[in-house]
Amino acid sequence: MWTTRTMPSHIQSYQIESQHLDSKGAPLLRSNRSLLFHAYTIYLFFYSDITTVMMPGMTFAILGSLTNSILTVDPLPISTVIHNSPRALIWLWAVLMVFDINNQNSPESIEEDRINKPSRPIASGRIHPTEASWLLQAMIVLSLIIGYVTGALQETVALFVLYWAYDNQGGNENWFMRNLLAAGGYIFYALGSLTIVSNQTDTRDARLWMLVFGLMILTTIHAQDFRDMDGDALKGRTTIPLIMGPKFSRWTLACSLIFWSVFCPFCLHLPLYAYFLTLGLGGFTGLRFVTKTDNASDKSSFHLYCIWVSIMLQLPAMKLL
Is the pLDDT confidence value at 162 over 70?
A: yes
**pLDDT of 286-305, one tens digit each?**
999 999 999 899 999 999 99
Question: What pLDDT band is residue 109 in, cutting at 50, 70 and 90?
Answer: confident
For residue 4, the model assigns a pLDDT of: 31
Q: Does pLDDT of 113 surpass 90?
A: no
Q: For residue 22, what pLDDT is reported? A: 46
- Comparing 262 with 72, the larger pLDDT belongs to 262
Burial 186-202 (b: 16+ CB within 10 A, else e): bbbbbbbbbbbbbbebb
Q: Evaluate whether 185 touches 83 at the Cβ level (below 8 Å).
A: no
Q: Name the pLDDT band for 321 (thresholds 50, 70, 90).
A: low
Does residue 245 or residue 171 have the better pLDDT?
245
Q: Where residue 20 falls among pLDDT bands split at 50, 70, 90?
A: very low
Q: How far apart are CA 282 and CA 275, in angstroms?
A: 10
17 residue type, one letter: E
- CA 64, distance to chain mean position in Å, is 20
Residue 259 has pLDDT above 80, yes or no: yes
Is 90 exceeded by the pLDDT of residue 95?
Answer: yes
Gap between the Cα atoms of 305 and 283, Å rounded: 10
**Are 66 and 93 within 8 A, CB to CB?**
no
| Element at 100 (helix H, strand E) | helix 78-104
Give the chain's domains with CATH numbers: 43-318 (1.10.600)
Q: Supply the DSSP string of 220-273, one letter for each residue.
A: HGGGGTGGGHHHHHHHT---HHHHH-HHHHHHHHHHHHHHHHHHHHHHTT--HH
Please give the pLDDT value at position 173: 81
pLDDT at residue 142 tops 70 = yes
pLDDT in tens, 205-219: 888 899 999 999 999
Per-residue confidence at 32, pLDDT binned at 50, 70, 90? Answer: low
pLDDT at 116 over 80: no
- pLDDT bracket for residue 172 (50, 70, 90): confident
Is residue 195 scored above 80 in pLDDT? yes
Query: Which of 27-31, 64-68, 157-161, 270-274 has the least mean pLDDT?
Result: 27-31
In the chain, which ranges are E strands? none
User: What Cα–Cα distance (Å) separates residue 74 from each residue in 59, 77, 119, 187, 190?
Assistant: 17, 10, 44, 21, 18
